[in-house]
Structure 1
Amino acid sequence: MPCYSLEGLAPVVHPTAYVHPTAVLIGDVIVGPGCYIGPLAALRGDFGRIVLEEGANLQDTCVMHGFPDSDTLVERNGHIGHGAVLHGCVIGADALVGMNAVVMDKARIGERSIVSAAAFVKAGFECPPQSLVMGAPAAMKRQLSDEEVAWKQRGTREYQELARRCLASMVECQPLAEVEAERPRMGDTGFRPKGDKSL
């Protein structure tokens, strides 16, 4: 992965975390145990500190950045969808930020909350735990049910398992010229039982 020390501060990646080789880590970045960081994610610790706590995931093309002396933090089991931008904010434990959402400086998303796809969370916004946050600008719409939180937690566990799968078996390769006869599907590889519809 492109990984850069800046002014003597090098990124820290726990050995059980998976960071895709195309993700970029710069400076004061801390990636905890069991995290997953997807392709083309950018974690720029060139001003403030960037932290992903244990079990968090940051998916494809996400950006984490912040102003000087700020922390941009995804707490334990946080789940950040494709293309989201986090800037100087805190995403609470077990919360989800949807695809292409933007969360701005000094915003705090409460634990077990969900920020909908394409939401724009203004600077300084705060929501209580287990909230649904939607809109541009975003507002708290309602409390989440326990079933909705459980749905989110299943998705996060899939990304924690994906980190383990990638560490164990992802290798760069050349593409095949043709599709093999009886090509297996990803669920047939042994990582998920056939017929599992848990997501």
Structure 2
Amino acid sequence: MPCYAFDGLVPVVMPGAFVHPDAVLIGDVVIGPEAYIGPCASLRGDFGRIEIGEGANVQDNCTVHSFPGRTVIVGEHGHVGHGAVLHGCVVGRNALIGMNAVIMDNVEIGEDAMIGAMAFVKAGTEVPAGALWAGSPARQIRLLREEEKRWKVEGTAMYRELGQRCIRTLHPVAPLAAEEPDRQRLPGGYLPKAEIGPDKG
């Protein structure tokens, strides 16, 4: 993976974590055990520190950065969807950030909270534990139901397992010119659908 020291600080990737070879880590970045960092994610610890907790995931094309002296934290089992931007914020334990959401400076996302896809969370916002926020600017829609919390936990567990599968099986290859006869399919795994939205509560 592209991994760069900056001002004498070398990124840390703890045992059991998976960082995709096309992700970029710079400077004061600490990736916890069994975390998953997806392809083309950029974690720039060149102004402030970045901490990704145990079992958390930061998916493909995410950007994580900060301003000087501020630490970005994604807590244990945090879940950051494709293309999200985190800047100078704290994502609580077991919280979920939806795809392409933008979380600004000094935001605190509470434990077990969810931020909807494409949401914009303004600087200084405090999102309560267990709440669903969505929109641009984001606002609280309601509190999450227990089934939605379970759905989130199951989805994050799938990313923990994905990281371990990547460690075991991911490697560069040349593409095939044609599909093999009887090409196998990836093992199925069923993730129950949770209906999340303002009209579902």
Fold shared per TM-score above 0.5 = yes
Structure 1 runs not aligned, ≥5 long: 188-193
TM-score normalised by length of structure 2:
0.94
Q: Distance in 2 between matches of 1:85 and 1:128?
A: 20
Superposition deviation, residue 198 in structure 1? 3.0
Structure 2 counterpart of 1:162: 162
Whichever residue aligns with residue 158 of structure 2, its letter is E
1:96-119 CA-partner distances (Å, limit 9, x unpaired)? 000000000000111101100000
Q: Distance in 1 between matches of 2:180 and 2:130?
A: 46
Q: Equivalent residue of 1:49, what SS?
A: strand
TM-score normalised by length of structure 1:
0.95
Superposition deviation, residue 182 in structure 1? 1.1
1:172-199 CA-partner distances (Å, limit 9, x unpaired)? 1011110011111111xxxxxx5x4234
Structure 2 counterpart of 1:99: 99
Superposition deviation, residue 132 in structure 1? 0.2
Structure 2 runs not aligned, ≥5 long: 193-201
Whichever residue aligns with residue 34 of structure 2, its letter is G
Q: Return structure 1 stretches of 4+ with deviation > 3 angstroms.
A: none
Q: Equivalent residue of 2:182, what SS?
A: coil
Structure 2 counterpart of 1:153: 153
Q: Distance in 2 between matches of 1:83 and 1:198?
A: 21
Q: Equivalent residue of 2:46, what SS?
A: strand
Q: Distance in 1 between matches of 2:68 and 2:47?
A: 4
Whichever residue aligns with residue 117 of structure 1, its letter is A
Structure 2 counterpart of 1:19: 19
What is the number of residues matched between the two proteins?
Answer: 192
Superposition deviation, residue 69 in structure 1? 0.2
Q: Distance in 1 between matches of 2:15 and 2:166?
A: 13
1:30-54 CA-partner distances (Å, limit 9, x unpaired)? 0000000000000000000011010
Q: Distance in 2 between matches of 1:166 and 1:197?
A: 19
The CA RMSD measured in Å over matched residues stands at 0.8
